[in-house]
């Protein structure tokens, strides 16, 4: 079993799609072992996406991620990181496969409904930004 970190983004929470996204996650065999709805501060969003701070879309990304609440989650499965990336689909929803979360729900590359960790190492870092071990119940 391994873990990945997920965010259901403001474009999805705004449209009341938390349950719909979770249904796709669970149908794919990922278990939601921790979850909370939070409003990110600008400092939290900037820290979370620090790796992108030189990218031209950084300002817009931080603005979008702090505009409405998000749902942060820990997902568990065998090979959770690649499994969730497959379930999410490509970053750009125009390139996402049928049946993926981004194909089903995303509005654009910026408002792409979900975030998922890109490696086990980053999953551990991202999980620790939002959850204590006691809050993760498998
Ligand atoms: P996410 O997986 O959360 O990681 C960084 C986010 O930046 C990405 O999803 C997109 O929502 C957002 N983003 C906006 N524009 C771009 C872009 N041109 N390339 C990659 N990511 C982008």
1-28 pLDDT, tens digit per residue, is: 999 999 999 999 999 999 999 999 999 9
Q: What is the pTM of this model?
A: 0.97
Q: The tokens of 105 are what?
A: 């729900």
Residues 95-128 have pLDDT tens digits of: 999 999 999 999 999 999 999 999 999 999 999 9
Give the closest residue (by CA) to ligand 1 atom 12. 110
| Residues at CB less than 6 angstroms from ligand 1 | 52, 57, 61, 91, 109-110, 112, 115
Q: Is 52 a catalytic residue?
A: no
**Residues 45-59 as b or e (16 or more Cβ within 10 Å = b):** bbebbeeeeeeeebe
Hey, which bits of the chain come out as E strands?
A: 2-8, 31-38, 70-77, 114-116
């Amino acid at each position: 079993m391994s873990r990945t970190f997920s965010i259901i983004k403001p474009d999805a929470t705004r449209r009341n799609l938390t349950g719909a996204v979770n249904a796709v996650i669970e149908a794919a065999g990922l278990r939601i072992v921790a979850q909370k709805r939070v409003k990110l501060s600008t400092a939290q969003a900037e820290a979370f996406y620090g790796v992108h701070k030189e990218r031209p879309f950084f300002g817009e990304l931080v603005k979008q991620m702090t505009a409405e609440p998000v749902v942060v989650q820990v997902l568990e499965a065998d090979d959770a990181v690649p499994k969730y990336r497959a379930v999410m689909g490509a970053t750009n929803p125009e390139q996402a496969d049928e049946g993926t979360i981004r194909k089903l729900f995303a509005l654009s590359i910026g408002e792409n409904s979900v975030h998922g960790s890109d490696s086990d190492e980053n999953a551990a870092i991202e999980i620790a930004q939002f959850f204590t071990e006691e809050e993760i119940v498998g």
